[in-house]
Amino acid sequence: MRIYYILMYYASLLVFGGVALALNATCAVLLLLPGRDARAPAVREAIRRLFGKWETWLGTMGLVRAAWSGPGPDGWLHPAVYVANHPSLIDATLLLARIPDAVCIFKPALLRNPCLAPAALMAGYVSGDGGIDLIHDLAAVLSSGRNVLIFPEGTRTLPGAALNPLKPGFALIARRAAVPIQVLIIRVDREVLPRGWPWWRAPRLPAQFDIRVDQAIIPDAEALTDDVVGAVERRFAECLSGEAEG
């Protein structure tokens, strides 16, 4: 069975890469045409649907199964800052398959990647490594009615840890835009592409992802940013207690 999972993992990478190339080739053409901003919602929806197909593919092949709990999409907050822990490289694809009209952050280095940059630009994703400009840009995204997905650890969780220390940017963005923070809890039954594990090295599979739409935290206008970060960090700790030992 181990051979099957290894072969299907690399086959799945080929499928993912082929679809990504087709999408980005299309978006590269769209970038040259007028009306880019008007097309951004359609591109975000296309990405959401493609990631949904990717989730279905992984489940059908028996590689990764994702179980969701909490309110359905109709009950999700909008606009909101969605924050999640980040145990795996796969997390973002699973979340972007479900969160409606979501914008995420990509590193400026991605702009040099012709296989990924066109779709990110067409979707209106925001580039940045931090700083006040990134906070202003994401607050503007929220003010326009879109959702923002942030991994407040800033990187994937270290192997053997339940959670890395949280960075405060998500709280500053939510306070500036006056929107709630929706906590998403991700549990995985084994380490799947954690920090330090290269994508080209097959992980141990199959894996079960349990994702819960958890509490919404509404920042008080008078609350300190550290207090908001602390409230979210405590909620993650409550839900993930015992994960490091498991």
pTM above 0.85, yes or no: yes
Alpha carbon distance 47, 158 (integer Å)? 28
Q: In terms of residue numbers, what domain contains 26?
A: 2-240
DSSP code per residue over 119-184? HHHHHT-EE-SSSHHHHHHHHHHHHTT-EEEE-TTSSPPPTT-S-PPPPTHHHHHHHHHT--EEEE
Give domain status of residue 20, yes or no: yes
Facing residues of 67 across strands? 210
User: Would you state the structure tokens that stand for residue 230, as one six-digit string?
Assistant: 């602390």
Give domain status of residue 124, yes or no: yes
Give domain status of residue 245, yes or no: no
Give domain status of residue 125, yes or no: yes
Give domain status of residue 246, yes or no: no
- Give the total number of structural domains in the chain: 1
Q: Can you give the pLDDT of all 246 residues of the chain as single tens digits?
A: 889 999 999 999 999 999 999 999 999 999 999 888 899 999 999 999 999 999 999 999 999 999 999 887 777 888 999 999 999 999 999 999 999 999 998 888 887 787 789 999 999 999 877 678 888 889 999 999 999 999 999 889 988 888 999 999 999 999 989 999 999 999 999 889 999 899 999 999 999 999 999 989 988 777 788 899 999 999 999 999 865 444
Give domain status of residue 235, yes or no: yes
Give domain status of residue 95, yes or no: yes
Give domain status of residue 145, yes or no: yes
Facing residues of 64 across strands? 207
CATH assignment at residue 60: 3.40.1130
